[in-house]
Homo-oligomer: A and B are copies of this chain.
Amino acid sequence: MAKVPELAERAGLDPGPALVVTDEHVADLHLGELMEAFGARSWKPRPLVVAPGEASKSMDTYSLVMDWALGVGITRQTPVFALGGGVVGDLAGFAAATLLRGLPLVQIPTTVVAQVDSALGGKTGINHGVGKNLIGAFYPPRLVVSDWGLLRTLFRSEVRAGCAEIIKHGLVADRPLATRLQRDLGSLMGLRDPIAPELLRDAAAVKATIVSGDEREAGRRALLNFGHTFGHAIEKVAGYGRILHGEAVALGMRAALHLSASLKAGSPLAPEADLPAPFAEADALVRDLRIRTTLDGLETPELMVAMQSDKKRAAAGLRFIVLDDIGAGRVADGVPVEMVEAAWAYARRVGAGG
């Protein structure tokens, strides 16, 4: 992180006033180091510390950030540094997108999710009472500085949940990455050098490649929703914040793998049976995350309804991301309801695997 100011300058930003948005947890752990680095190169950073957690992705906090930024005094050249996880990145990114119709944005992601997913691809935004991420903008950062050392202070559960997204990247688009994860998931979850930073970097590259040329989410970008239609339904029915997003996605991926197998077979697989190759292998990788989330207490009919209101779903019929093979995801439209129900039944039986 000591290099942030220098990298920002190389990216064309002039040392001077800058806004830094972070949350309380990250401020306690890492803000001092960043401020020192700025001080050493004659930047004048002004930090704003918001409350940690999803609740800060709200219209109220957004409005507060705007008041603060405009009160401090900014020009179109004043950069916004987002130091934190996906919450800070999405919130500060949306603020940067809409202050004076766009200030330069620098993402400094501090969670696994942020480093391999949310800080990349230009989606910014906040939540609304009606649903998550309903207000926002596509606004690519000028620069992303990922320092994997920052992840050491994360709770293990946060690291694990982030690793679910890394597995997802491998499964939908990068077979070699998936293969390496089969061997090295333990080193990744333990944040061991040099394997962890390599895998993090390569997982980030998968996302970057997928979104480049698909900024507005028409085509391949949809692959990144693998496990998410199921996962979002789980989060919604469980009540947002009860389980980590990555935990819901892990369980959702197991359902999506069952669905992939059913689609390949042409009829719903029995939920009691083991998955056939290559889905069994992928399924084992997800299970190795040892996430303990289950569907206990969540009814299938409710999950089905929750799934239907997911904003990313096409108006007609059920649309899912499925695998043809490991590393080969695709969009499947008009999926039969019985296959979806069988997938839920499978996920109910096996849980996320922990």
* A interface with B by C-beta (< 8 Å): 59, 63, 66-67, 70-71, 75-77, 94, 97-102, 123, 125, 128-131, 134-138, 216, 311, 315
Q: Is the beta-carbon distance between B135 and A99 smaller than 8 angstroms?
A: yes
Q: Is the beta-carbon distance between A75 and B128 smaller than 8 angstroms?
A: no
Q: How far is the CB of A332 from chain B (nearest CB, A)?
A: 20
Task: Give A98 to B102 CA distance when docked, in angstroms.
Answer: 13
Apart from A98-B137, A99-B135, A102-B137: 10 A-B pairs, beta carbons within 8 A = A59-B66, A67-B129, A70-B131, A70-B135, A71-B130, A76-B311, A98-B98, A100-B311, A102-B138, A137-B137
List chain B residues, Cβ under 8 A from A123: 101
List chain B residues, Cβ under 8 A from A75: 311, 315
Task: Give A311 to B216 CA distance when docked, in angstroms.
Answer: 30
List chain B residues, Cβ under 8 A from A67: 128-129
Knowing A66-B128, A130-B70, say if A101 contacts B138 (CB, 8 Å): yes
As for how many copies of this chain the complex holds, the number is 2
A-B contact pairs, 25 of them (CB 8 A): A59-B66, A63-B63, A66-B128, A67-B129, A70-B128, A70-B131, A70-B134, A70-B135, A75-B315, A76-B311, A77-B315, A94-B98, A98-B98, A98-B136, A98-B137, A99-B135, A100-B134, A100-B311, A101-B123, A101-B125, A101-B136, A101-B137, A101-B138, A102-B137, A137-B137
List chain B residues, Cβ under 8 A from A135: 66, 70, 98-99
Q: Is the interface of A mostly helix, strand, loop or mixed?
A: mixed
Which residue of B has the minimal Cβ distance to A72?
B130
List chain B residues, Cβ under 8 A from A71: 130
Q: How far is the CB of A234 from chain B (nearest CB, A)?
A: 22
Q: How far is the CB of A99 from chain B (nearest CB, A)?
A: 7
Which residue of B has the minimal Cβ distance to A126?
B98
Q: How far is the CB of A321 from chain B (nearest CB, A)?
A: 17
Q: How far is the CB of A329 from chain B (nearest CB, A)?
A: 21
Task: Give A80 to B269 CA distance when docked, in angstroms.
Answer: 44
Instruction: Please list the 4 inter-chain residue pairs (A to B) with the smallest Cβ-Cβ separation, ordered nearest first.
Output: A70-B130, A101-B136, A70-B128, A98-B135
Task: Give A125 to B269 CA distance when docked, in angstroms.
Answer: 52
Task: Give A71 to B101 CA distance when docked, in angstroms.
Answer: 26
Q: How far is the CB of A219 from chain B (nearest CB, A)?
A: 14
Q: How far is the CB of A182 from chain B (nearest CB, A)?
A: 35
Q: How far is the CB of A201 from chain B (nearest CB, A)?
A: 27
Task: Give A216 to B66 CA distance when docked, in angstroms.
Answer: 21
Which residue of B has the minimal Cβ distance to A76?
B311
List chain B residues, Cβ under 8 A from A70: 128-131, 134-135
Task: Give A317 to B63 CA distance when docked, in angstroms.
Answer: 32
Task: Give A98 to B315 CA distance when docked, in angstroms.
Answer: 21
Q: How far is the CB of A147 from chain B (nearest CB, A)?
A: 28
The residue among A66, A77, A123 with the most chain B CB atoms within 10 A of its own CB is A66
Knowing A66-B128, A70-B128, say if A134 contacts B99 (CB, 8 Å): yes
Q: Is the beta-carbon distance between A97 and B134 smaller than 8 angstroms?
A: no
The residue among A63, A101, A130 with the most chain B CB atoms within 10 A of its own CB is A101
